[in-house]
Amino acid sequence: MGLSLSALNPQPFSLWSEATMNKKTIDDIVVAGKRVLVREDLNTPQDSTGAITDDRRIRAALPTLNALLERGAKVIVAAHLGRPKGTPDPKYTLAPVAKRLGELLGKPILFVSDITAPDAAAKLAILKDGEIALLENVRYYPGEEKNDPEFAKVLASFADIYVNDAFGAAHRAHASTEGVAHLLPAVAGYLMGKEIDFLAKALEAPARPFVAILGGAKVKDKIGVVTNLLPKVDALIIGGGMAYTFLKAQGKEIGTSLLAEDFVEACKSVLVQGAGKISLPVDATIVDKFPLGLSPEDRATLKVKSVSVDNIPADMEGVDIGPKTIEAFSAVVKSAKTVIWNGPMGVFEDDEFATGTRAIAQAIADSDSLSIIGGGDSAAAIEQLGFADKVSHISTGGGASLEFLEGKQLPGLVALLDK
C-alpha cells in the first residue's frame, strides 16, 4: 500500500525544499497581537441549497489558522469561491464556508460581507487576540482578478502581516495572492509549504524509479508538463483524451476520438525526445457516441467495445484505456518508488468508463511509492473511487500543480519574503 500521510489534515512541515521553498513561513515571524491577513483556498463545492458537499479544502487550512490563533494573532481570512466575475452573486457567497470553518475551529467567525464598505475596517477592529474573521468572496470585486493596486491596498489596510496559504491560487497574480504581498511582510503558511515540499522533492530528488502519469482531455494544458518532466522521470505514462493526439502523431487512425490538431507536430517531437520513456495506450474502450448526458433511450443503444489502437473505426471514439493498457500501465506504476499523477485515464465521471482510472488509482494505492496526486480531476477521481487515504499527498491545486510541474514560477509564491 502507498504511503499514507493524511491529505485531510495536513501537518506543519519543518523541512522545506532548499531550492524552491526558500521562503519565510509563519514559523519565522512573531504574530502575537498582530493582525494577520491569511489567503486560503476555500473554493469548496456546494449543492443547490448552498450546503457544502466537500470540506476538504477548509480542513486543509486548519493547521495554519490554528497555529496563528494559538500564538495570539488576530486572523483575517481572505478567499474566493467560483467565478462571480467581479460582482456580488449570492450563489458564490462564503457565508456557508464561514459557518463550516467555525464548526471545525470551534470558534465563532466574524463574517465581513462587504470588503470595501466604509465600516469594514471598524468591524475588523473589534477582533481580539486569538479571534478570527472571514472576508466575503474576494472575486466579488473587479480589482481582485485585475490585481488592482487600490484593491490590494484595501486588503493590506486590514492587517500588519500577510500569509499566503492558498497553493491552489498561487499561480494567479491577483490582488489577494500577489498584489497585497508587496504591501505587507509576506510569508507562507503550512499548506503552501506542504504542497511545495512534496512537489519539489519529487522533482529534485525523487526515489527511483520515478514515474509520471498524465491524463485528462487537453494536450495544450499538459504539453509543457510533458516537456519539463521528460528529463526527470524514468517513465512517462500518457492516457486519457490527450493520448489520442499522441496516437495521431504516430500515424494511427483515431476515429472521432478527441484530437488537438494544432499539437500533432509538438507531440511528434515529444515522442522522439521521449523514446524509451513514454508509454501510450495499446488498446482502448470505444463508443459510437459520447456517453455523458445521453438520454436513457440513446444509452440503451450505445455501442461499446475494446479494440487495439491500430483498429479504431472511423465512426467511433475512445473513452477509456483498454485491458491490455491497464495491465501494462499498472506494471510500470507498481515498480515505481515515486509517482506523480495528473489527469484521469478516461471519462471517469461515467462509472462504465472509469475502469482505467480506477485501475491506475488501485495500482498507485498498492505500490510502495511516494505518491502525489496533482489536484483537479485526478484528485476528484481518487477521492470518488475511495483511494484518498491510500496515497501520500493529494494536491489542493490543479492549475497550480500543473504550472509547478511545468517549471513555471508561481506569482503567489515568488512574492513572499525570502529567508
Three-state DSSP class for residue 306: strand
Locate the DSSP E strands across 21-118: 35-39, 74-78, 109-112
Annotation marks residue 82 as catalytic:
no
Catalytic pick from 268, 337, 399, 408? 399
Which residues 6+ apart lie within 8 Å of 196 measured at CB?
16, 17, 20, 21, 167, 188, 404, 413
Annotation marks residue 399 as catalytic:
yes
Cα–Cα distance measured from residue 318 to residue 308, given in angstroms and rounded to the nearest whole number? 11
Catalytic pick from 356, 376, 397, 398? 376
Nearest to 411 by CA among 187, 172, 197: 172
Nearest to 82 by CA among 11, 128, 137: 137
Locate 273 and state its grid cell.
525526445
Cα–Cα distance measured from residue 117 to residue 24, given in angstroms and rounded to the nearest whole number? 32
Nearest to 339 by CA among 236, 417, 257: 236
Q: Give whole-number Cα distances, 78 to 114, 159, 160, 249, in Å.
A: 12, 11, 14, 45
SS (H, E, C) 340-353: EEECCCCCCCCHHH
Catalytic pick from 35, 57, 172, 222? 57
Catalytic pick from 218, 252, 268, 324? 218
Nearest to 326 by CA among 367, 289, 281, 377: 281
Ramachandran region, residue 147 (left: φ > 0; alpha: ψ -120 to 50; beta: rest): left
Pairing of strands 161-164, 210-214: unpaired
Residue positions annotated with a catalytic role: 57, 218, 376, 399
